Structure 1
Amino acid sequence: MNHRCCTSSAYWTGGLSAAPSHRYRSRALRLAPRQEQGEGDTDSHSTAVSEFEQTSGSVKAFVGGLTDLFVRFAGGDEDSEALSADTSAKASLSEAELEAGIRQEYAKNYLWTGDINEDLYEEDCNFTDPTLSFSGLSTYKRNVGSLQGVLDLFVRNSRSVLYSCELRQEDSCVQTRWRMVGDLRLPWGPTIDVVGRTTFSYDSSRGNRIFSYDEVWEMEAAEALMQIFRPGTRDSAPEQ
């Protein structure tokens, strides 16, 4: 959601500033929506998911407008730092180290906090979710930093669970499936509850660091957005 992520967390409070268009199509596995699937389970079902290209222009425009509002309100509308062309300062990772690092991201609830390990990413990494696509680790840091106060103000009981994490050497990527749940501090008590998948594509010639972060959701982007306006009526704790 990354948050988000382009992290997911950022989406629910306005998203991240969109920049260059989506460059990489998702290679995420097609898994059954809302199926509480633990690690090691096989993918026995198939369904469509919401991706950036499939999301309507109106939804993208709505999220983009909220993005600009929140970032400007937080004073984060300055030009982003110039991308560094030199990534030699970052140590190369083994594929096993990259997978372990990604698992740790979920363990520290990055889907909501936006707190990522920058050493896992290339400076020009492309971040995409069903509503936004932009390039640059510096852009990610600027926008997520601007949204932290908003998250603290409006989100409580934020939690996430990692259902699966698979290193796919043949595709040079790590694929994850997860669920994120959070309650919003609004009078009608809405709950955000999204199951999604993320493909972290890496380049062996660049130290096995992530050059593409591609997030999809197992529901339509508009449906996910409408959760903000629905009264909360149930216990939404993720199942382990």
Structure 2
Amino acid sequence: MHQSGGENVLVSGLVSAMTESLRVLGVGKQQYQQIAVQPSPNPPLAAGDVQGVIERIQQDYQQAYFVTGVIDDSIYDQGCTFVDPTVQFSGLDLWKRNLQLLVPFLIKPRIELMSISSVGPNSQGAEQIQAEWTLDTVISLPWRPRVSILGSTIYTLNSDANKVVRHVESWSVSAWQALLQIVTPGPRQ
């Protein structure tokens, strides 16, 4: 798996520039406004209820949160740090906004949770959960590129509020390979 953390400054710069361009153009603004005002229907979990967090994350995958932005806010710290091989930033609200920039370009996106489990505490004693997943979608560009990624996400919880404070993805492809998928023509239909 390719680790996160902006290993490639050029790729990170390109992704940031594309994201900001879409934001300036107002792409996904209406979708973001709709999900931003939806409060979580779920009550907060008790401290130490790791199994409860796992169940809520499973529900998020059932709602395809990676490609819809529909996420259970009650299990995320508002300042959660999100990291993937192309970008890193903090804030649940910013994650939702960034995702809504992409949603209009996804054709039949599919995210499938393959496994999820507690992996115990990290070196600082924070509980961690690991999910393995696949993402497959076609991008709404004239050449219809297909993006297909096998990924893993480590969710790190804070101990006092039992909320996700880090959401770190690793992918089966490098950041550069992921960008190449976007510029490679997809199969003709």
Count of aligned residue pairs for this structure pair: 169
| Shift, 1:124, TM fit | 1.4
| Shift, 1:142, TM fit | 3.6
- Take 2:144 and 2:23, find their aligned partners in 1: how far apart are those partners? 24
2:64 corresponds to: 109
Q: In the alignment, is the contact (CA less than 8 A) between 1:50 and 1:218 conserved in 2?
A: no
Q: In the alignment, is the contact (CA less than 8 A) between 1:127 and 1:214 conserved in 2?
A: yes
Output aligned runs, 1:52-131, within 5 Å: 52-54=5-7, 56-74=8-26, 91-93=44-46, 94-131=49-86
2:40 corresponds to: none
Q: In the alignment, is the contact (CA less than 8 A) between 2:2 and 2:171 conserved in 1?
A: yes
- Take 2:142 and 2:99, find their aligned partners in 1: how far apart are those partners? 25
Residues 187-215 of structure 1: CA deviation (Å, up to 9, x unaligned): 32211101111000002222x11111111
Residues 154-187 of structure 1: CA deviation (Å, up to 9, x unaligned): 2211111111101123331110111000012223
Please provide the CA RMSD for this pair: 2.1
| TM-score, with structure 2 as normaliser | 0.81
| Shift, 1:53, TM fit | 4.1
Q: In the alignment, is the contact (CA less than 8 A) between 1:124 and 1:136 conserved in 2?
A: yes
| Shift, 1:234, TM fit | 8.4
Residues 38-85 of structure 1: CA deviation (Å, up to 9, x unaligned): xxxxxxxxxx4232242x111111101001101111187xxxxxxxxx
- Take 1:156 and 1:201, find their aligned partners in 2: how far apart are those partners? 31
- Take 2:54 and 2:120, find their aligned partners in 1: how far apart are those partners? 11
In structure 2, stretches of 5+ residues that fail to align are 30-42
Compare the two structures and name the one with the higher strand fraction.
2
Secondary structure of the residue aligned to 1:169 is strand
Q: Which runs of 4+ in 1 moved over 4 A?
A: none
Q: In the alignment, is the contact (CA less than 8 A) between 2:6 and 2:12 conserved in 1?
A: no
- Take 2:25 and 2:4, find their aligned partners in 1: how far apart are those partners? 28
Residues 74-122 of structure 1: CA deviation (Å, up to 9, x unaligned): 187xxxxxxxxxxxxx623421110000111111111111221110101
Secondary structure of the residue aligned to 2:77 is strand
- 1:158 to 2:109 alignment: yes
- 1:51 to 2:4 alignment: yes
Residues 119-143 of structure 1: CA deviation (Å, up to 9, x unaligned): 0101211111111111122322343
Aligned pair in 2 of structure 1 residues 188, 139: CA closer, same or farther (>3 Å)?
closer
Aligned-residue identity in percent: 28
Q: Structure 2: which amino acid aligns with 1:230?
A: T
In structure 1, stretches of 5+ residues that fail to align are 1-47, 77-89, 236-240
Secondary structure of the residue aligned to 1:226 is helix
1:6 corresponds to: none
- 1:135 to 2:86 alignment: no
- Take 1:135 and 1:91, find their aligned partners in 2: how far apart are those partners? 21
1:25 corresponds to: none
- Take 1:120 and 1:138, find their aligned partners in 2: how far apart are those partners? 14
